[in-house]
Amino acid sequence: MTTDRTTDTSSLDAHWMPFTANRQFKQAPRMLARAEGMHYWTPEGRQVLDGVAGLWCVNAGHARPRIVQAIAQQAATLDYAPPFQMGHPQAFELAEELVKLTPPGLDRVFFTNSGSESVETALKMALAYHRVRGEGSRTRLIGRERGYHGVNFGGISVGGIVGNRKLFGTLLAGVDHLRHTHDPARNAFSFGQPAHGAELADDLERLCALHDPSTIAAVIVEPVAGSTGVLLPPVGYLQRLREICDRHGILLIFDEVITGFGRTGQPFAAQTFGVTPDLMTVAKGLSNGCVPMGAVLAKREIHDAFMHGPEQLIEFPHGYTYSAHPLACAAALATLQTYEEENLLTRASELHDYFGQALHSLRDLPLVVDVRHIGLVGGIELTPIPDAPAKRAFNVFLDCWEQGVLIRTTGDTIALSPPLIIEKSHIDRIVDTLAGALRRAA
């Protein structure tokens, strides 16, 4: 068994942790030492049920043998290959396998290393696409309030989570935001998609009138807004947004970094909701979280718009040193094979009702003001402590951790996104643990 080497808290000082209350953590560290299947283990050997797939990413469960072996074999065969003006077979194979899963038309793949990089890439693609087509006036980008699109400057500019933006100045110019879709007055405790709010997509028409649609390059939204608290699109909302974008020649980008690879019951949320974007960003579940990797899926006509001019010149001057890294490609190929062999990309649709009923069993407990879910992603919104935002949910998070269940919180919402290999008994354990923690927090 791995021993605990962190009893001396001074050994934690050098690491400035991301998206973490560093001072609180280092007073009482929560350390993970190994993982397998649905569980983590602490250095002391305590088992913890993973209710969030690591960080929305370990969709096939932890330490899957096929993926582990693929990474090891690839590291021993081709550890790195330059992606600029060179290639390796696994990158092309992975792209071909990916487009077999995507909605028709999204059949060109540009590899990145994270969701944040995928978003930056998609935004640049949108701007450059209009430029090469002779519509260089289209420079404006539209995001949505409460949206999360990673942490790079483009992503936080089109994103709409105030806490992620307020420290970093004016961000990108030429960005505006749609209203968010959270409407608890009409939609609280909806089972699946909320019925009310499709008309909120018409806010794009307001922005078109304000800015002139010929200046707008793209709209980017999450089909299900995850990091802001699991906000589902109202019935008809995404369809209406697609119609408005088509009417005005605006590209529609879906950020599927969280929803991609089976989270909503289909390979992608675009298929779950029946709306195909022009560009789609993915990461997380692409490689099961084992090796950092992301991608942008583009419609062929967007790709082809760049394929002009002298053949020796670079058509799209963008990319990363580790784009299509051999180890990431090996991990992703093995991940996709695992998904296919175990029918994991549609498993969330099979468990949608059971998972939803389990979550909605919490609705009458103290503090619970809303429950939201689709597929195998859920949010439980809590009454905040006055003058102490996010503390209520964080206290529940700590309680569940002590009880051996890992959940995630965002603000005062508890978010769940367990690995797709989850069994009903695991769902029961997560919800029972949550119920106890909520009663103790009241």
Fold of 9-60+344-441: Aspartate Aminotransferase, domain 1 (3.90.1150)
Q: Are 406 and 50 in contact (CB under 8 A)?
A: yes
pLDDT confidence of residue 1: 38
List where CATH 3.40.640.10 sits in the chain.
67-341
Separation CA 345–CA 339 (nearest Å): 6
Is the separation of the CB atoms in 180 and 225 below 8 Å?
Answer: yes
Report pLDDT for 6.
45
User: For residues 322 and 173, what is the distance between their CA atoms, to the nearest angstrom?
Assistant: 29
Strand order in the sheet with 413-416: 368-374, 377-382, 413-416, 408-410
Distance CA 231, CA 221 (A): 11
Amino acid letter for position 282: V
b/e code 319-351 from CB counts within 10 Å (16+ = b): bbebbbbbbbbbbbbbbbbbbeeeebbebbbeb
User: What is the structure's pLDDT at 4?
Assistant: 47
Residue pair 110/120 in contact (Cβ under 8 Å)? The answer is no
Give residues with Cβ within 8 angstroms of 379, minimum separation 6.
Answer: 229, 230, 231, 370, 371, 372, 373, 413, 414, 415, 416
Q: 67-341 has which CATH code? A: 3.40.640.10
List, in sequence order, every residue forming a beta bridge with 220; answer none if it has no partner.
253
Domain(s) of CATH 3.90.1150.10: residues in the chain: 9-60+344-441
Each of the 442 residues of the chain gets a pLDDT tens digit; together they read 344 444 466 799 999 999 999 999 999 999 999 999 999 999 999 999 999 999 999 999 999 999 999 999 999 999 999 999 999 999 999 999 999 999 999 999 999 999 999 999 999 999 999 999 999 999 999 999 999 999 999 999 999 999 999 999 999 999 999 999 999 999 999 999 999 999 999 999 999 999 999 999 999 999 999 999 999 999 999 999 999 999 999 999 999 999 999 999 999 999 999 999 999 999 999 999 999 999 999 999 999 999 999 999 999 999 999 999 999 999 999 999 999 999 999 999 999 999 999 999 999 999 999 999 999 999 999 999 999 999 999 999 999 999 999 999 999 999 999 999 999 999 999 999 999 999 999 9
- The tokens 């693609």 sit on which residue? 125
Q: Give me the pLDDT at residue 8, please.
A: 63
Please, what is the Cα angle at 46 between 40 and 48, to 5 degrees? 35
pTM of the model: 0.96
pLDDT reported for residue 9: 64
